[in-house]
């Protein structure tokens, strides 16, 4: 399978984040990229540096001033008094506080939704590269039928105008919108990261031309808490085109695969021109921040079932944190997907 990546992925290097009163090591480490890259290369997949398609496909999903903020904030950090190694904020805008300030100090709390998304020296280059990997994979499915985007940092918690949950640009959504424009057809997104794809839901919530579904841990007591419930089904003309399948913490392969099969039936009924799989591997049993018990076999079965839809598919990397199973689960997923497509 072709693996689209950008060599700048490792340049985003968050060190710590503030979790319930304590600073802990940041789980979204550069090694996630190198471990996954080395594993796919060792398994014989073809590594391709993503072409640079510029800002236009990013701006097709994201707010222009938000993207400008992400691109420029490191260079303009002198405007945020006291910043040394990273731009991070302890103040946050809330929905009822709807004034957008002019100054950078206020803007950091307007655009960054939590303390998991610092901006450091290499952040923009990595974030931009991750989006380009998603775009390049979308452009590749025309002839290949499927491709994998090794996106880092991940994207599905990023809304049109905010970063959060380790995410800055919504790579999955950027790929979906790119496919929609290129194919002039309806696009389905299937998010199997253990966390609800709240940014992706938000981006497409009022649209029916992109059908979003997410299978994840019940947000009642799990990140992202404020979205991801089963009664969130879309708005306006998008009513009925968002679907959440929350599952209890501790969910195992059997339960997860039943929910997956339910989601796949809905995709088949929608008859999309293409599919984007938001592939979080943090549903894995030994993931350090996950809460499901998905095994390597579970990921392989999921890949096989998804592949059997026979729809052109972009697989975009979302979460999945450093542990022994991380590279093994990616290889299992990609191999099973490819084998099912090639009728093996
Ligand atoms: C893309 C993605 O998977 N984002 C996840 C964001 C989760 N944010 C909450 C993290 C809580 C981290 N707990 C760390 C425990 C380390 N031992
Ligand atoms: Zn996740």
Between the CA of 206 and the centroid of ligand 1 the distance, in Å, is 28
Distance CA 24, CA 15 (A): 9
Query: What would the mean pLDDT of 234-253 be, rounded to a whole number?
Result: 98
The percentage of the chain sitting over the pLDDT mark of 90, rounded to a whole number, equals: 91
Q: Do 137 and 175 contact (CB within 8 A), yes or no?
A: yes
d(CA 294, CA 283): 6
As a whole number, mean pLDDT of residues 229-233 equals 98
Q: Whose CA is nearest to atom 6 of ligand 1?
A: 165
Catalytically active residues are: 157
Kindly give the distance from the C-alpha atom of residue 288 to the centroid of ligand 1, in angstroms, as a whole number: 9
- Please compute the mean of the pLDDT values over residues 34-61 and round it to a whole number: 98
Q: What CA–CA distances, in Å, run from 53 to 102, 131, 133, 277, 343? A: 30, 10, 10, 21, 33
Query: How far, in Å, CA of 64 to CA of 82, rounded?
Result: 27
Q: Rounded distance, CA 258 to CA 115, Å?
A: 35
Ligand 1 contacts CB of residue 280 (under 6 A): yes
Residue 195: CB within 6 Å of ligand 1? yes
Enumerate the β-bridge partners of residue 67. none
Query: Which tens digits make up the pLDDT trace of 181-228?
Result: 999 999 999 999 999 999 999 999 999 999 999 999 999 999 999 999
**What is the per-residue pLDDT for 79?**
92
Count other C-beta atoms under 10 Å from residue 54's C-beta. 11
Please say if the pLDDT value at position 36 is more than 90.
Answer: yes
Least reliable range by pLDDT among 84-98, 236-250, 276-290 = 84-98
Ligand 1 atom at minimal distance to the Cα of residue 193: 3
| For range 159-168, the mean pLDDT | 98
Torsion from C-alpha of 59, 60, 66, 70, nearest 10 degrees:
-50
| 143, pLDDT greater than 80 | no
Instruction: Provide the Cα torsion 160, 164, 169, 172; round to 10°.
Output: -90
Mean pLDDT, residues 327-340 taken together = 98
For residue 344, the model assigns a pLDDT of 67
Residue 8 predicted with pLDDT over 70:
yes
Tell me, in angstroms, the distance from the centre of ligand 1 to residue 143's CA: 36
Q: Which residues contact 135 (CB under 8 A, 6 or more apart)?
A: 50, 53, 57, 174, 175, 178
- Name the helix (H) or strand (E) containing 81: none
Give residue 95's pLDDT: 85
Alpha carbon distance 283, 161 (integer Å) = 27
What pLDDT band is residue 16 in, cutting at 50, 70 and 90?
Answer: confident
């Amino acid at each position: 399978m072709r693996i689209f990546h950008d060599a700048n992925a490792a340049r985003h290097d968050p060190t710590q984040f503030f979790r319930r009163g304590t600073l802990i090591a940041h789980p979204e480490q550069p090694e996630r990229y190198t471990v996954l890259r080395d594993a796919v290369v060792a398994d014989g997949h073809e590594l391709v540096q993503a072409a640079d398609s510029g800002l236009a496909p990013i701006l097709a999903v994201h707010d222009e001033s938000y993207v400008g903020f992400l691109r420029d904030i490191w260079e303009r950090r002198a405007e945020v008094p006291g910043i040394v190694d990273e731009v991070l904020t302890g103040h946050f805008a809330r929905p009822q506080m709807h004034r957008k300030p002019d100054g950078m100090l206020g803007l950091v709390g307007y655009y960054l939704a939590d303390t998991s998304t610092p901006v450091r020296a290499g952040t923009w280059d990595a974030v931009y590269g991750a989006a380009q990997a998603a775009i390049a994979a979308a452009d590749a499915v025309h002839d290949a039928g499927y491709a994998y985007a090794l996106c880092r940092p991940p994207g599905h918690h990023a809304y049109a105008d905010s970063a959060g949950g380790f995410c800055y640009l919504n790579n999955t959504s950027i790929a979906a919108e790119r496919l929609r424009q290129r194919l002039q057809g309806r696009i389905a997104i299937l998010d199997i990261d253990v966390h609800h794809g709240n940014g992706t839901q938000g981006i497409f919530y009022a649209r029916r031309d992109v059908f979003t579904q997410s299978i994840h841990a019940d947000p009642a007591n799990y990140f992202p808490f404020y979205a991801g419930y089963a009664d969130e089904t879309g708005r306006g003309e998008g009513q009925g085109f968002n679907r959440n399948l929350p599952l209890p913490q501790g969910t195992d392969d059997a339960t997860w695969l039943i929910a997956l099969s339910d989601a796949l039936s809905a995709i088949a009924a929608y008859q999309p021109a293409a599919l984007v799989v938001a592939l979080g591997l943090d549903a894995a049993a030994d993931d350090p921040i996950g809460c499901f018990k998905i095994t390597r076999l579970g990921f392989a079965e999921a890949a096989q079932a998804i592949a059997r839809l026979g729809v052109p598919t972009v697989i975009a990397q979302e979460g999945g944190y450093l542990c022994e199973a991380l590279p093994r689960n990616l290889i299992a997923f990609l191999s099973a997907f490819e084998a099912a497509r090639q009728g093996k």
